[in-house]
Amino acid sequence: MRFALCVRCAHGDPDPMPATPTGAASAVSYPVGMFRRKPRLVTQALLAQITVLLLVLGGGFTLTAMLVRHQSEQQYAQRALAVARTTADNPVIVQRIASGHDPNGDVQREAERIRQRTGMLFVVVTDVHGIRRSHPDPAELGKPVSTQPTALDGRESVSVQRGTLGDSARAKVPLRDPRGRIIGEVSTGVRTRTAQQAAVPLIRQAAGFAGVALLVGTAGAVLLSRRLKRQTLGLEPVELAELLREQRAVLGGVGDGVLAVDTADRITVCNDEAARLLGGPRPPGTPVADAQLPSALCELMLARRELRQSHLVVGDRLLVVTAQPVRRGDQDLGHVLTLRDRTELDELERELSALRSLSDALRAQAHEYTNRLHTLSGLLATGSREEAQSYLRELAAAPLATEGRDGARIADPYLRGLLAAKTATASELGIALRLVADSNLPRRLAEPLDVVSVVGNLLDNALRAAADGERAPAWVELSVLAEGDTVHLAVVDSGDGVLEADAERLFRSGFTTRPDQGRDGHGIGLPLARQLVAKYGGELRLECGSGADHGAVFIARIPAVVEPPGGSGASNLFVDAVEVER
């Protein structure tokens, strides 16, 4: 069968070929079989398994039938041999053959009696010349046997031969007189068909077993094919290969880390970016519990939680994590995490935040100093010299207000700007932010952004705790002390403190005591601050959960962050620019 297919070019116009005599578009004939779709992988696997079953069971059944048939023929041949031996021991037959005279047909009568009693096809007795002395067909008496009398040489034999009565399994034994001389031969036989019929029940049983085995094998092949279909999601080998190529291309081309697990919580995908972010590759097949993943990620994957653009502190990195299940229809295929490194972006944000804080502080101080100058000017203009002097003494006693350029206890401009900005924020909240009197930082910070980030996070938490606490008036105290190149920090607030049950979870990413803890961005300040401190080999801890007259006390020690005496860093340039602007 063939059909006509109209040939058109890629733009949809008829192919520019010579027109047919009728003016119709030219046609090309293709065999229909050329477009037949190949059987699906599952169908091919099922057909292949059933074919193998048929070949194996068919070959096994044929071999079994042949062996059973041969065994049955051998058994009947041995039975014929036993009957031949018994006949050769019959005294009447031996006496009549030895004497050569049998006027009454005793040999024929005895042989027929034995044949009928044993169910043999024939019992033939011959003399030493091969002349039949007995035969089921009386017409054959006195004639030579149709097969070679092999027992006349004294040996017994068993074989399947064709004689005057057809194919038979026969036995031949020598006939001896009382002195042991061979005087003839006794030949007995069983029809081959009889032996074969005896094997039919066994062959039927073998056929039944083969049929049951074929059914069981076919059922197993069907189940295996269905399992194969489920495991391959009904995709063909070409589609699977294409998906693999696409997966390699996507995983190698995206900038995000990808970590995937199957339904048994085993890692199936860990691309290069994920290996970089997690500190090393995780081979496919590794259980999540044994993959040495950060505890936050391990709990996230085992709990199969779904997240959208959530922040998570992993090691010294701040990651944006998206977690979602993978499904095809109603089938669960596992869980996929995408990891995006936000550490560099967070550093830029912290630097920008520090600059904004310093800028806001400078503007606030400029406005505040303008008001103070106006106040002093008014006091002096009215002649209130004592009030002006008292006002100046009060200004000099304010710790945060005296952190100027000369004789400042906090020499780092970044930290001064942060404190000024936080003081303004605290004032808006009705909280007094105080710098402990013995605080001293005589030199600038070598790593100001990280230290400012740690102090800012601690102060933010303290201000929220003081604002939510029941003590009034609310206050927060900060202590900053330099020891060599190490900075010691202490933050105390007037809040209600931290419960003992929450003390161990404070530094766990995502944990927060605020009622809006479901909001993204909460629960990462303290973990991030601890990671920043740990980067320098320092320590950040909760020294005291609460006290009789104060709330939580946080202690931090950050080594190698203070410039050596006479050092000059990037912060100097910034301060110089600020001073010039002022």
DSSP letter string over 284-322?
TT-BGGGTT--HHHHHHHHTT--EEEEEEEETTEEEEEE
Q: Say what the pLDDT of residue 344 is.
A: 66
- Which has more confidence, 386 or 237? 386
* Structural domains of the chain in order of their starting residue, each with its CATH number: 2-35 (no CATH), 56-198 (3.30.450.20), 250-337 (3.30.450.20), 346-581 (3.30.565.10)
Could you give the CA distance from residue 49 to residue 55 in angstroms, rounded to a whole number? 10
Residues whose CB is less than 8 angstroms from the CB of residue 490 and which lie 6 or more positions away in sequence, other chains included:
436, 477, 478, 479, 543, 553, 554, 555, 556
Residues whose CB is less than 8 angstroms from the CB of residue 251 and which lie 6 or more positions away in sequence, other chains included:
258, 269, 271
Is residue 487 a contact partner of residue 561, using CB atoms and an 8 Å limit? yes
Provide the pLDDT confidence category of residue 406 given band limits of 50, 70 and 90.
very low
Mean predicted lDDT score pLDDT of the chain: 75
Q: Say what the pLDDT of residue 393 is.
A: 75
Stretch among 13-22, 481-490, 562-571 having the lowest mean pLDDT: 13-22
Quick: pLDDT tens for 447-473: 888 898 899 889 988 999 999 998 989
Q: Say what the pLDDT of residue 477 is.
A: 94
* pTM value surpassing 0.85: no
Is residue 193 a contact partner of residue 159, using CB atoms and an 8 Å limit? no
Q: Say what the pLDDT of residue 347 is.
A: 66
pLDDT of 17 higher than 60: no
Q: Are strands 486-493 and 553-558 parallel, antiparallel or unpaired?
A: antiparallel
pLDDT of 97 higher than 80: yes
Q: Say what the pLDDT of residue 364 is.
A: 58
Provide the pLDDT confidence category of residue 240 given band limits of 50, 70 and 90.
low
Stretch among 41-45, 86-90, 428-432, 533-537 having the lowest mean pLDDT: 41-45
Q: Which of 530, 533, 529, 526 is nearest to 559 (CA)?
A: 533
Q: Say what the pLDDT of residue 358 is.
A: 62
Could you give the CA distance from residue 187 to residue 193 in angstroms, rounded to a whole number? 18
pLDDT > 90: percent of the chain:
10
Q: Are strands 317-328 and 307-314 parallel, antiparallel or unpaired?
A: antiparallel
Quick: pLDDT tens for 482-530: 999 999 999 999 998 888 777 777 777 656 666 554 444 455 678 878 8
Provide the pLDDT confidence category of residue 558 given band limits of 50, 70 and 90.
very high
Is residue 234 a contact partner of residue 47, using CB atoms and an 8 Å limit? no
- Residue recorded with tokens 């938490």: 461
- Residue 475, classified by CB atoms within 10 Å of its CB into exposed (0-12), middle (13-18) or buried (19+), is buried
Q: Say what the pLDDT of residue 523 is.
A: 56
pLDDT of 166 higher than 90: no
pLDDT of 155 higher than 90: no
Highest mean pLDDT range out of 15-19, 435-439, 570-574? Answer: 435-439
Residues whose CB is less than 8 angstroms from the CB of residue 110 and which lie 6 or more positions away in sequence, other chains included:
87, 90, 92, 93, 134
pLDDT > 70: percent of the chain:
72
Q: Which of 82, 172, 80, 73 is nearest to 126 (CA)?
A: 172
Tabulate helix, strand, coil % of the chain (nearest 5): 45, 25, 30
Average pLDDT estimate for 277-297? 81
Q: Which of 523, 531, 436 is nearest to 488 (CA)?
A: 436
Q: Which of 407, 412, 422, 483 is nearest to 447 (CA)?
A: 412
Is residue 235 a contact partner of residue 40, using CB atoms and an 8 Å limit? no
Q: Say what the pLDDT of residue 130 is.
A: 84
Quick: pLDDT tens for 63-72: 887 887 777 7
Average pLDDT estimate for 555-569? 81
Quick: pLDDT tens for 108-133: 888 889 988 888 888 889 888 888 88
Could you give the CA distance from residue 282 to residue 294 in angstroms, rounded to a whole number? 13
Q: Say what the pLDDT of residue 463 is.
A: 92
Highest mean pLDDT range out of 23-27, 163-167, 491-495, 532-536? Answer: 491-495
361-381 core/surface letters (b: 16 or more CB in 10 A; e: else): bbeebeeeeeeeeeebeebee
Phi, psi of 220 (to 5 degrees): -65, -40
- Residue 468, classified by CB atoms within 10 Å of its CB into exposed (0-12), middle (13-18) or buried (19+), is middle
Q: Say what the pLDDT of residue 233 is.
A: 65
3-state secondary structure of 397: helix
Quote the tokens at residue 60. 């096994």
Quote the tokens at residue 408. 């400042």
pLDDT of 369 higher than 80: no
Is residue 338 a contact partner of residue 551, using CB atoms and an 8 Å limit? no
Stretch among 257-266, 403-412, 434-443, 521-530 having the lowest mean pLDDT: 403-412
Quick: pLDDT tens for 251-269: 555 667 888 888 888 888 8
Could you list the beta-strand ranges (E) of 400-515. Answer: 431-435, 474-483, 486-493
User: How many other C-beta atoms can be found within 10 angstroms of the C-beta atom of residue 192?
Assistant: 22
Stretch among 96-100, 176-180, 229-233, 560-564 having the lowest mean pLDDT: 229-233
Provide the pLDDT confidence category of residue 353 given band limits of 50, 70 and 90.
low
Could you give the CA distance from residue 400 to residue 410 in angstroms, rounded to a whole number? 9
pLDDT of 362 higher than 70: no
